Amino acid sequence: MALFSKKEAERSAERAVPRHIAIILDGNGRWAKKRGLPRTAGHAVGAETMRKITRYCRDIGVEYLSLYVFSTENWNRPPEEVAELMRLLEKYLYEAIDDMAKENLRIVIFGDKSRLSPKIRSLIERTDEITSHIEGFQVNLCLNYGGRDEIVRAARRYAQDVAEGRANDIDEAGFSQYLYSAGLPDPELLIRPGGEMRTSNFLMWQLAYSEMYFVDTLWPDFTPHDIDKAIDEYLRRDRRFGKVKE
């Protein structure tokens, strides 16, 4: 069920919204700490926020939503926290399997699956299978994802294809096709809640010309209204792409 009225959805749909929004889900731990709760309580609320914001983005006409949920660096957290994050991801995927068809939701994993548990990998196989039958809104779930890792993997495969005659030359357009995001438009807008002003190894290639929106609100407190504010700010930006203004 959508979080906001149908009228609001229609109003939003009339606006120009970015085709692709990327979000770094940050601030769960601090949200919990402020309330005297364990960090993991923040992750549980953050997972609910992720569901709500996903539906909202779909309803206002965004086509692709890239969500940074677990980085290649996040393995360096205490094992109990990593285990809880993995448990929540498992729950998310498990529930998504039931909902994807009726919610018209495609889920694509960006990241190295080999380090994930067999249980999570088998849930991903099921979401992949369902996604292949759905056309529509797409969530790129960035899970064990690192921007540098993605680029190194792409370079390795591309170089091998050139060496074995399957590709001619190495160029930007060709390179993009070896990334998890092959065929997708780059995000026009990156949103990072939680107050930090950095990209923390997220979508290093794809964010080259994205508008960046940083906000102090912690992710568990993030609402559809915050998405609207970010889009309004994005619409006010002057995107020049290196050219001079007419």
- Contacts of ligand IPE in 82-111 (CB under 6 A): 85
Binding mask 43-72 for ligand IPE (x = CB under 6 A): -------------------------xxxx-
Residue 16 DSSP SS3: coil
What is the set of active-site residues?
A: 26, 74
Q: What does the alpha-carbon distance between residue 43 and residue 36 come to, in Å, rounded to a whole number? A: 14
Whether 22 contacts 199, CB under 8 Å: no
Nearest approach in angstroms of CB 202 to ligand IPE is 7
List 17, 22, 25, 154, residue binding ligand IPE (CB under 6 A): 25
Total residues interacting with ligand IPE, rule: CB under 6 A: 17
In terms of CB distance, is 40 or 157 closer to ligand IPE?
40
Residue (12 or 65) nearer to ligand IPE, CB: 65
Q: Which is nearer to Mg ion, 219 or 234 (CB)?
A: 219
Q: What is the 3-state secondary structure (H, E, C) of 43-107?
A: HHHHHHHHHHHHHHHHHCCCCEEEEEEEECCHHHCCHHHHHHHHHHHHHHHHHHHHHHHHHCEEE
CA 216 to chain centre: 19
Asked if 26 interacts with Mg ion (CB under 5 A), we say yes
Find all residues with CB under 8 Å of 40, minimum gap 6, and list them. Answer: 32, 80, 81, 84
- Measured from the CB of residue 194, what is the shortest distance to Mg ion in angstroms? 6
Footprint of ligand IPE (CB under 6 A): 24-30, 68-71, 74, 85, 194, 196, 198, 200
Q: Which residues bind Mg ion (CB under 5 A)?
A: 26
